[in-house]
């Protein structure tokens, strides 16, 4: 009897130790991140958790989703070649509470634009028309007019989205369970591959991809034929073939050195992606039990044999837990899940890496 109890105890201890090693090893805790960047950055302030940024490169403008604090909301900004950045906070009404997370921009052939925004507080997607008014004789000020709220049982834990039409989009669910539950905690620490992708077309929604561990950022290639989804849990970017009916067929995965967050597509089909190289450090930072967390930005050329290049590393001295890094020419804007700033950086991306 005693021997059986001892064996049972040792088995339990072995399982626990195995789980601890599995969690620590997969978190990137062994990675050492040192300051590494060839360009220069300056801080843009006035944000609380600028988690996502989307650029309209044709107009030299963009939008920032600020998820926390008194400045939570949407901010529009314009940027000039000389480095000048003008920032405005969008005035919104009728959709409270509103804590924006993922962003997507859709532009019609006529030039009319819509902004898609994940509302973390309501687990919905809000769709806005982007309009302009002349505040002065020389300045056009963007105005958001709320068009609709999209809520659906399949949109459970939305993180990021990609627009495919004036009322259509892909959205990633990070987990199968809801936020704040024990099941969610188990999913996170065991890195269970239970995230999915949903496509919404007007009032219809359907799951188009499953089996993604902590499905996060997503993006569509310029030709519309390839769809990418970040898996924070497995440090991979899933690559899908996209059909004309918006269905997805898994092609392969691109391994990356850290947990990938938001993906920002470039006109040549390459993309940048922000990584959390040490997910436990990021979790500690976000729970306010650590003062900082490392950040990493990649430039990825997703050719037949993908080329992955680190273009920015920071141990947490300049920015912590970077979550997005869109690029226009030689400008890169780095946002983060928490913190009070966006970095406006000069960057030189090599063609094809």
pLDDT score of 251: 96
pLDDT score of 191: 59
Rounded to whole angstroms, how far apart are CA atoms 235 and 27? 9
Fill in the DSSP letter of residue 181: S
Across the range 311-332, mean pLDDT stands at 96
Give Cα 276 distance to the centre of its chain.
11
Locate the domains of the chain by residue range.
7-346
Average pLDDT, the chain: 86
Q: What percent of the chain stands above pLDDT 70?
A: 83
pLDDT score of 95: 79
Split at pLDDT 50, 70, 90, the class of 186 is low
**243 against 16, higher pLDDT:** 243
Neighbours of 96 (CB within 10 A): 10
Query: Lowest-confidence range among 18-32, 159-173, 235-249, 307-321?
Result: 18-32
Split at pLDDT 50, 70, 90, the class of 139 is low
Kindly tell me if the per-residue pLDDT of 308 is higher than 50: yes
pLDDT score of 184: 60
Concatenated DSSP letters for 292-334? ---EEEEEEE-SSS-EEEEEEEESSSS-SSEEE--EETTEEEE
45-80 residues labelled b (16+ CB within 10 A) or e (exposed): eebbbbbbbbbbeeeebbbbbbbbeebbbbbbbbbe
Sheet holding 124-134, edge to edge: 100-107, 113-119, 124-134, 140-150
Rounded to whole angstroms, how far apart are CA atoms 183 and 155? 17
Most confident of 131-145, 281-295, 304-318: 304-318
Kindly tell me if the per-residue pLDDT of 157 is higher than 60: yes
By C-alpha distance, which of 325, 281, 339, 294 is closest to 68?
339
Fill in the DSSP letter of residue 272: E
| Dihedral of the alpha carbons of 184, 187, 191, 195, in degrees to the nearest 10 | -80
Across the range 143-159, mean pLDDT stands at 92
**Two tokens at 165?**
């039409």
Strand duo 195-201 + 140-150: pairing: unpaired
Rounded to whole angstroms, how far apart are CA atoms 22 and 14? 12
Domain 7-346: give its CATH code. 2.120.10.30
Split at pLDDT 50, 70, 90, the class of 20 is very low
Across the range 146-166, mean pLDDT stands at 94
221-242 residues labelled b (16+ CB within 10 A) or e (exposed): beeeebbbbbbbbbbbbbbbeb
Across the range 103-130, mean pLDDT stands at 93
Rounded to whole angstroms, how far apart are CA atoms 339 and 286? 9
Across the range 37-61, mean pLDDT stands at 92
CA gyration radius, the chain: 21
Most confident of 10-24, 188-202, 270-284: 270-284
Report the predicted TM-score, pTM, of the whole model to 2 decimal places: 0.88
Q: Please, what is the Cα angle at 293 between 122 and 77, to 5 degrees?
A: 55
Which segments of 67-224 are extended strands (E)? 73-79, 85-89, 100-107, 113-119, 124-134, 140-150, 158-165, 168-173, 195-201, 204-212, 215-220
Q: What percent of the chain stands above pLDDT 90?
A: 60
pLDDT score of 193: 74
The answer to whether the beta carbons of residues 64 and 89 sit under 8 Å apart is no
Give Cα 267 distance to the centre of its chain.
19
Rounded to whole angstroms, how far apart are CA atoms 323 and 279? 12
Rounded to whole angstroms, how far apart are CA atoms 149 and 116? 10
Rounded to whole angstroms, how far apart are CA atoms 61 and 79? 6
Sheet holding 61-66, edge to edge: 50-56, 61-66, 73-79, 85-89
């Amino acid at each position: 009897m005693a021997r059986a109890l001892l064996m049972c105890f040792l088995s339990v201890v072995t399982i626990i130790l195995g789980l601890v090693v599995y969690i620590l090893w997969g978190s990137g805790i062994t990675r050492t991140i040192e300051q590494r960047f060839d360009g220069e950055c300056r801080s843009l302030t006035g944000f609380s958790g600028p988690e996502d940024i989307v650029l309209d490169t044709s107009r030299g403008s963009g939008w920032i989703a600020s998820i926390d604090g008194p400045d939570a909301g949407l901010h529009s900004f314009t940027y000039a070649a000389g480095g000048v950045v003008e920032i405005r906070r969008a005035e919104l009404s009728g959709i409270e509470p509103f804590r924006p997370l993922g962003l997507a921009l859709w532009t019609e052939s006529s030039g009319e634009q819509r902004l898609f925004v994940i509302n973390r507080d309501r687990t919905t997607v809000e769709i806005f028309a982007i309009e302009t008014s002349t505040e002065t004789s020389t300045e056009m000020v963007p105005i958001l007019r709320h068009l609709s709220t999209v809520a659906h049982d399949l949109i459970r834990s939305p993180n990021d989205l990609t627009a495919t039409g004036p009322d259509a989009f892909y959205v990633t669910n990070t987990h199968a369970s809801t936020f704040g539950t024990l099941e969610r905690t188990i999913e996170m620490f065991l890195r269970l591959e239970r995230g999915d992708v949903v496509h919404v077309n007007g009032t219809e929604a359907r799951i188009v991809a499953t089996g993604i561990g902590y499905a996060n950022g997503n993006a569509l290639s310029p030709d519309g034929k390839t769809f990418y989804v970040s898996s924070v849990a497995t440090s991979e970017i899933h690559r899908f073939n996209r059909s004309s009916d918006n269905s997805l067929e898994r092609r392969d995965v691109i391994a990356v050195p850290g947990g990938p967050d938001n993906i920002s597509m470039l006109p040549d089909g390459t993309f940048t992606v922000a990584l959390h190289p040490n997910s436990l450090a990021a979790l500690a930072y976000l729970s306010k039990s650590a003062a900082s967390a490392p950040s990493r930005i990649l430039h990825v050329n997703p050719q037949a044999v993908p080329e992955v290049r680190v273009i920015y590393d920071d141990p947490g001295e300049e920015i912590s837990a970077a979550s997005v890094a869109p690029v226009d020419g030689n400008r890169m804007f780095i946002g983060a899940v928490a913190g009070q700033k966006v970095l406006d950086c000069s960057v030189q991306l090599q063609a094809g890496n």
